[in-house]
Structure 1
Amino acid sequence: MKIRVATYNIHKGVSSIRSTPRVLALKKAIGLFDADVVFLQEVQGRHDRFQARYGEKVRVPHHQWPEKAQHEFLAGEALHAAYGMNAVYDHGHHGNALLSCYPIANTRNHDVSDHAYEQRGILHCVLETPVGNVHCYVVHLGLFEGSRRRQTDALINAVKESAEPGEPVIIAGDFNDWRNTLSDCLRVNLGVTEVFDELAPRSRIGQLVRNVAGRDPRLVPARTFPAAMPWFRLDRIYVRGFAVEHAEVLHGPQWARLSDHAPIVANLQLA
């Protein structure tokens, strides 16, 4: 079975500079992924202030703020959707979401908040595909390295407790792991690979130096932040039980206008 997946931090559906709504444009952009499963972070389940300001009567149509929760609006009639509420405030809430062309058998949102100033969660969804269940985990880790390490431990425990060793797993989202200190821990403990592990280009000189020194190649994820000129490696897709056929970061002016993160799409083949 082939499956196309994407991960995208949508910045709560507003532009990163002027905070104007981009929800309608995001729906069209997500459609361009042509993905079977989409992992989303910073999804607004509710925002009363934007709804009041940019409701149906807004003068600029493409700035309209839909009445539905963002995950429901982005899913439309064609996709199944699940939402994990993480951050709650007086005028609304946001969290992670999963959009899927496959039925979602069950969901669970794991609260992995490390302190009172950052509410974080891991949304676990079990997809019913034609060849069996696939476990999907939507991740958005904290801004502080100590928090991310503890949240990664919680992620490892969540996967081990909910997915049998032989079951296929996809973990994707915004890891905020700009120094790439967490990937090896996930590889060792969960047997996953990141989609760019085998596909990222390697320089011949660098490979020669590593061969002479007897070191394994240094595996690095792709650059996804900021979207206008990606430099930091924040967003990831880890898989188990899949072969990676293709992976790419979508960047350029079109994507820079929508969010501060660039999306990743990958084609997978069930091993």
Structure 2
Amino acid sequence: MNAGPGALLRVATYNVHGWKSLGGRRDIGRFVETIRELAADVVALQEVVMPPLIEEECLERAVAGPLGMHAVSGPTLTRLGTEYGNALLTRFPVEQSRGHDLSVRGCEPRGAVEVVLAVPGGRLRVIATHLGLRARERRIQTEALLALVRERQDVPTVLLGDFNEWMPANRTVRAVSRELGATPAPATFPSCFPVLSLDRIWTSPGLALTSLRRHRPAYATCSDHLPLVAELRHPGNGIDKNNGETRKNEL
């Protein structure tokens, strides 16, 4: 892979399994340390559990704050007084954000979080998601995601998350790879003996993918997924990483 010019960025995706270890113990602190190990600028999280009403505050205080990052939440459902869904952490100012409902009738609610970030290379759009368990459901959700990708071809885009695709050459993976280009797919599930590539990272043309790997946490019992980490080069036009405050406006 050709690194080329521009700013080097690191992005990651991690299904945190409701902050529960393989043994069933819930320990947000261990997961925070695992996310710290990634040293990523942007981290997409799936299966995030937080109390309702104050979810944004809890995510900021319990997870993003200790990491020196900003949080954007994307809950998809509420169960027994607890909100559950997607989230995105970033070191960069958030210029714009919005959530997308990817739910299919008769299936568990699903969604995606979309943000535009001010990064050292200019602007970066990130779409973080967690697709459903049924093949037809994932096909519908993938079509919606690809339509979303096409909306903003002026901004370099990263599409990442837990795509729940069990087969390496399935219809969903082929569709995204045709649109954005094929990328490596290290196995991330189950974390104790990974054989399935459920977690994926794709980038739009203009973003040079320099590496993509799975990460083995120091706390080996964290989650049933391993984090997936990618480094990429932004084409670059000189936006300051530290310029401006975090803003969460509608696109």
**Where in structure 2 are there 5+ consecutive unaligned residues?**
1-6, 236-251
Matched with 1:81 is 71
Decide whether the 8 Å contact of 1:43 with 1:70 is kept in 2.
Answer: no
Give the secondary-structure state (helix, strand or coil) at the position aligned to 1:76. helix
Letter in 1 for 2:209: V
- Superposed counterparts of 1:218-233, under 5 Å: 221-233=185-197
| Partners of 2:56 and 2:73 within 8 A in 1 | no
- Which residue does the alignment assign to 1:191? 180
Contact 1:7 1:40 in 2 (8 A): yes
Matched, 1:15 2:15: no
Tell me, yes or no, if the aligned pair for 2:209 and 2:233 is still in contact at 8 Å: yes
CA contact (8 A) 2:56 2:71 kept: no
> 1:94 corresponds to which letter in structure 2?
Y
- Number of equivalences: 224
**Closer/same/farther in 2, CA of residues 82 and 44 from structure 1, 3 Å limit:** same
Q: Are 1:244 and 2:244 matched, yes or no?
A: no
When residues 105 and 193 of structure 1 are mapped into structure 2, their CA distance, relative to the original with a 3 A threshold, is farther
Give aligned-pair identity as a percent.
34
Q: State the distance in 1 between where 2:108 and 2:228 align.
A: 24
> 1:79 touches 1:100 (CA, 8 Å); kept in 2?
yes
Counterpart CA distance in 1 for 2:62 and 2:219 is: 19
SS in 1 for 2:142: helix
> 2:50, 2:59 within 8 Å by CA — same for their partners in 1?
yes
Q: Which has the higher contact order (CA 8 A, sep 6+)?
A: 2
Spell out, residue by residue over 1:21-71, the C-alpha distance to the aligned partner (whole angstroms, 9 max, x if none): 1200111111111111111111113279xxxxxxxxxxxxxxxxx995345
Contact 1:245 1:267 in 2 (8 A): yes
Query: Match for residue 158 of structure 1?
Result: 148
Asked whether the equivalents of residues 138 and 173 of structure 1 are also in contact (C-alpha less than 8 Å), the reply is yes
Structure 1 outlier segments of 4+, above 6 Å: none
Alignment of 1:85-234 (within 5 A): 85-161=75-151, 163=152, 165-180=153-168, 181=170, 182-188=172-178, 190-194=179-183, 196=184, 221-234=185-198
Residue 5 of structure 1 contacts residue 36 of structure 1 at CA under 8 Å; is this kept in 2?
Answer: yes
For 1:132 and 1:67, how far apart are their aligned partners in 2?
Answer: 27
Contact between 1:171 and 1:239, CA under 8 Å: does it hold in 2?
A: yes
With the length of structure 1 as denominator, give the TM-score of the two structures. Answer: 0.77
Deviation of 1:237 after TM superposition, in Å, equals 0.5
CA contact (8 A) 1:71 1:97 kept: no
Structure with max Cα Rg: 1
- Name the CA distance, whole Å, in 2 between partners of 1:67 and 1:156: 28
Mapped pair 1:24 → 2:29? yes
The alignment's C-alpha RMSD in Å is 2.1
> Do 1:45 and 1:71's aligned partners in 2 also have CA atoms closer than 8 Å?
no
1:270 aligns to 2:234 (yes or no):
yes
Partner letter of residue 187 of structure 2? R
Shift of 1:232: 0.9
Judge conservation of contact 1:255–1:262 (CA < 8 Å) in 2.
Answer: no
Deviates more, 1:112-121 or 1:171-180: 112-121
Aligned to 1:38, the other structure's residue is in SS state strand
- SS of aligned partner of 1:265: strand
Task: Point out where structure 1 has 5 or more consecutive residues left out of the alignment.
Answer: 49-65, 197-220
- 1:150-171 per-position Cα deviation (integer Å, ceiling 9, x unaligned): 100011112222x1x2421101
Contact 2:21 2:221 in 1 (8 A): yes
Further displaced range: 236-245 or 179-188? 179-188
Closer, same or farther in 2 for the Cα pair 1:11/1:47, shift >3 Å?
A: farther
Whole-Å separation in 2 of the counterparts to 1:67 and 1:136: 19
